[in-house]
């Protein structure tokens, strides 16, 4: 039981400055997994469930999640001051967020343990480690020829995010699928956003970011009925070749350790496991 008086309140704009100061404090335990969003962008979204812990009107903790999509949500932000019992503060923040997510129709919630303390806190609240996200890397000039030369790979822009998001929802389980807003934000930040088309139908897409002299394949999704037919390979061949022509030889990608089809695809294109693994934790919500 927490030994100090703590008030849990939903985030409101009047707390904006205090919350930003909390996440900017180097002494705070901080977990941020906002993909292509900044903290300011994230907290400005009206539908994001965010709760704050106050002690004598001082913000001592915060927690935020995605709005549930198809019954699944992600913990995206945790901030805990360490001059108060952080485990106790997290427990009461999680209790409030959990009830809110249930009210919004979420049946499960997941989180990436980017830091050891995150996994420790999640374990205390009944989360279970269910997966690892692994990083694969490659470098070089050699790229396998496209397995589907008849496919049309064309560049897209952020206005086509709804089309890509529909492919994403079809390709992945709800906990892994991106919503339309996330795809749109990713497309806006992308160095490459391409679609694979055949006979007037879009079969898959990829979004890639550029970081100095390396690219990161942030998303690749193919419709279930087209998976295993070379669509992913065609997207990869075009992507890697186009950046190699520009002198960018290094590339990285993340995928689930259990996604063997995805791993085999990337390995055929010269990607190797880097050893940088991130535990993924999950909890069902009653």
Q: Domains in the chain and their CATH numbers?
A: 7-126 (3.40.630.30), 134-283 (3.40.630.30)
- Measured CA to CA, the distance from residue 59 to residue 257 in angstroms comes to 37
Question: Residue 135: pLDDT above 50?
Answer: yes
54 class by beta-carbon count within 10 Å (0-12 exposed, 13-18 middle, 19+ buried): middle
pLDDT for position 212: 87
Find out whether 181 and 212 touch, Cβ atoms under 8 Å: no
Crossing angle between the packed helical segments 180-189 and 161-171, to the nearest 10 degrees: 120
Q: Tell me the pLDDT band of 3, cut-offs 50, 70 and 90.
A: low
Percent of the chain with pLDDT over 90: 92
- Sign of the C-alpha dihedral computed for residues 13, 17, 20 and 25 taken in this order: negative
Collect all residues with Cβ–Cβ distance below 8 Å to 99 and sequence separation of at least 6: none
pLDDT at position 35, please? 85
pLDDT reading at 80 higher than 60:
yes
Is-contact 73 65, C-beta < 8 A? yes
Greater confidence (36 vs 108) lies with 108
pLDDT, residue 2, reads 60
Give the pTM: 0.92
CB 69 within 8 A of CB 104: no
Give the pLDDT of residue 1.
Answer: 47
Average pLDDT for 165-185: 94
* Residue 50 clears pLDDT 60, i.e. is over it: yes
Residue, of 86 and 35, whose pLDDT is higher: 86
| Cα–Cα distance list, 285 to 107, 123, 282 (Å) | 5, 15, 10
Cα(138)–Cα(269) distance, rounded to whole angstroms? 8
Q: Is the pLDDT of residue 229 over 90?
A: yes
Would you give the end-to-end CA distance of the chain in angstroms? Answer: 22
Average pLDDT for 247-269: 96
Please provide the average confidence, as pLDDT, over all residues in the chain. Answer: 95
- State mean pLDDT over 56-81: 96
Give 93-130 pLDDT, tens digit per residue.
Answer: 999 999 999 999 999 999 999 999 999 999 999 999 99
| Local structure of 138: helix, strand or coil | strand
Mean pLDDT of 152-178: 96
- Average pLDDT, stretch 208-235? 97
């Amino acid at each position: 039981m927490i030994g100090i008086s703590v008030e849990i309140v939903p985030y409101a704009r009047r707390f904006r400055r205090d919350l930003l100061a909390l996440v900017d404090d180097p002494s705070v335990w901080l977990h941020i997994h906002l993909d292509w969003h900044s903290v300011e962008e994230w907290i400005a979204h009206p539908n994001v469930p965010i709760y704050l812990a106050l002690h004598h009107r001082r913000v001592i903790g915060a927690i935020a999640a995605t709005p549930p999509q198809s019954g699944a949500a992600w913990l995206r932000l945790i901030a805990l001051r360490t001059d108060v019992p952080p485990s106790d503060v997290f427990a009461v923040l999680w209790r409030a967020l959990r009830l809110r997510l249930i009210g919004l129709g979420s049946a499960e919630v997941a989180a990436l343990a980017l830091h050891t303390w995150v996994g420790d806190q999640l374990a205390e609240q009944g989360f279970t480690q269910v997966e690892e996200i692994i990083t694969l890397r490659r470098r070089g000039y050699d790229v396998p020829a496209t397995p589907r030369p008849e496919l049309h790979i064309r560049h897209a822009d952020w206005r086509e995010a709804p089309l890509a998001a529909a492919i994403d929802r079809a390709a992945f389980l709800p906990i892994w699928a991106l919503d339309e807003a996330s795809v749109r934000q990713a497309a806006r930040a992308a160095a490459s956003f391409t679609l694979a088309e055949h006979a007037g139908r879009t079969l898959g897409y990829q979004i890639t970011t550029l970081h100095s002299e390396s690219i990161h394949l942030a998303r690749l999704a193919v419709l279930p009925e087209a998976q295993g037919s070379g669509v992913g390979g065609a997207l990869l061949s075009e992507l890697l070749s186009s950046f190699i022509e520009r002198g960018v030889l290094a590339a990285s990608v993340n995928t689930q350790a259990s996604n063997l089809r995805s791993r085999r695809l990337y390995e055929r294109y010269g990607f190797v496991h880097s050893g940088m693994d991130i535990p993924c934790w999950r909890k069902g919500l009653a």
